[in-house]
Amino acid sequence: MQNIRYAFILAALTLYCGIVAADPAMTESGAALGSHEQGLSIYKGIPFASAPVGALRWREPLPAKAWQGVRKALAFAPACMQTGVSMPGEDPPAVSEDCLFLNIWTPATRPKAQAGLPVLVWIYGGAYSNGSASMPLYHGDRLAQQGIIVVTIAYRLGPLGYLAHPELTRESAHGSSGNYGLMDQIAALRWVQRNIAAFGGDPEKVTVAGQSAGAMSVSELMASPQAKGLFQRAIGQSGGLFEPWQLAPGYVLANAEKDGVKYAESRGVATLQELRRLPAAELIRGDVRAVSHPVLDPYVLPLSPYDAFSRGLQNDVPLLLGSNTEEARSLIDVSAVKAATFAAGLEQSVGPLPPPLLAAYPYHTDPEARQARLDLETALRFGWDMWAWARLQVKTGKHPVYYYAFDQHPPFPAGSPYAGWGPSHFAELWYMFNHLDQQTWRWTRADRKLARDMSAYWVNFAKSGNPNGKGLAQWPAYAGTDGRVLHFGDPSIIGGVPGIRGLEVFDAVYQSVRGKEE
């Protein structure tokens, strides 16, 4: 009788909606009906946790509620509450506090004798403040067509995802608060472990991947005891959480709780009960950066990623990571930087810096000053973190690291939101997802080859923990401080870590802050 019902629904969708329906997949909460497109079965808006609303706001996510019958998984769910967009030119997504959903792209057919397919779970970036699992750039179609399953997951953002508060700590069974967004990611990975076989996936071949804040989240998941065993490989693109926590004391739970109290006062309330009654839109109004970041807490993140890796306590898996050679171009405007006011302008932006850091980025003319500012910001925000992450995994882990530097200049047209970016933050995403076709820019043959190669490297890594494969240039495992990295460009070549001299100065400064040697 159940098979007859499924067949009737499939026929009705095809006849009346023009949708070619995929076979329903039976999850722990009920059957989900997806669509069949381009040789793939696609399932959109599947809940992996209960709605974190009302009394469940600022609590660890609970399993999704069961549903009756067959749930249509044909449309993306709203993104989590947020302000702004995660990429220039992106259309703002529809948002809701009820947002804990995921999307799946899986090959529609495969040989019957084949075991479950590898799975890549994508975590979006957006400074923990915005981002969407349904953004077209992140669609998993081109990767899934190469023989893996792609899952994009949502997680709570801003103060709804990361608020710490003394009352939240007291009500917690774990004596902690904050990190609800990170707990959402862990809940999604647990859902994948329990359910991905129904979509043809192998829960023993899961890769967790992300960019920017998504990559920082990957570093946190590798450090979190709660995520142990939930993935077998990891990919971090342009983001990691490795700077000394002494430079960001607000990340420590006791200080984060104080920021949470100040935040509640800024909303005009004094208690957690009053906070839970406020509309979600009121909670994300204004500048909420002080309560929109991870917290070092005794349950989810008892050690910073740096400390976890230094002690060999990370979730040790093969690692693919890297960053772009001109990350800062898309994030800061250096048009007004002058040689005469370089130091003062930098201090106004990021605070006072040790003299050795300034000396590591010399300049004489205004153009040199602008380039020095870009290079320093790139190292400060991304370069050092990726270098530290790679070195720590090589030193204390048993699994290899594959390290890249993205140096391709996409044909960003004048007048677009991306004009003048070069190989900056975000630029690699069109290539690794092989989604050049989403933009009508003047892509070259070299661009298209690089997109094919990068997507193939990522897929190979998800399949085996090694990105190398037929038709691709050999990518050696990174060997430590003096190791070689793959520079993606035209052509792609093996070389050293970009900006290594400046990174070494950053490293010395950070070690002095920690007061100990790595």
Residue (of 131, 81, 75, 80) closest to 103 by Cα position:
75
E strands along 289-343, which residues? 319-324
CATH number attached to the domain at 318-518? 3.40.50.1820
Catalytic residue among 60, 257, 327, 377: 327
- 399 is known as an active-site residue: no
Amino acid letter for position 358: L
Amino acid letter for position 490: D
Structure confidence at residue 514 (pLDDT): 87
The pLDDT tens digits for 437-494 are 999 999 999 999 999 999 999 999 999 999 999 999 999 999 987 789 999 999 999 9
Structure confidence at residue 152 (pLDDT): 98
- 174 is known as an active-site residue: no
Instruction: Compute the distance between CA of residue 94 and CA of residue 249 in angstroms, rounded to an integer.
Output: 34
Q: Alpha-carbon torsion 74, 80, 81, 86, what sign?
A: negative
Percentage of the chain beyond pLDDT 70 is: 95
Which ranges of the chain have pLDDT less than 70? 1-18, 110-113, 516-518
Please tell us whether the domain made up of 1-217+241-315 is placed in CATH 3.40.50.1820.
yes
Structure confidence at residue 129 (pLDDT): 97
Catalytic residue among 165, 425, 435, 487: 425
Domain ranges of the chain: 1-217+241-315, 318-518
- 37 is known as an active-site residue: no
Catalytic residue among 129, 177, 212, 217: 212
Which tokens belong to 159?
């103060």
**Do 1-217+241-315 and 318-518 agree at the fold level?**
yes
Structure confidence at residue 382 (pLDDT): 96
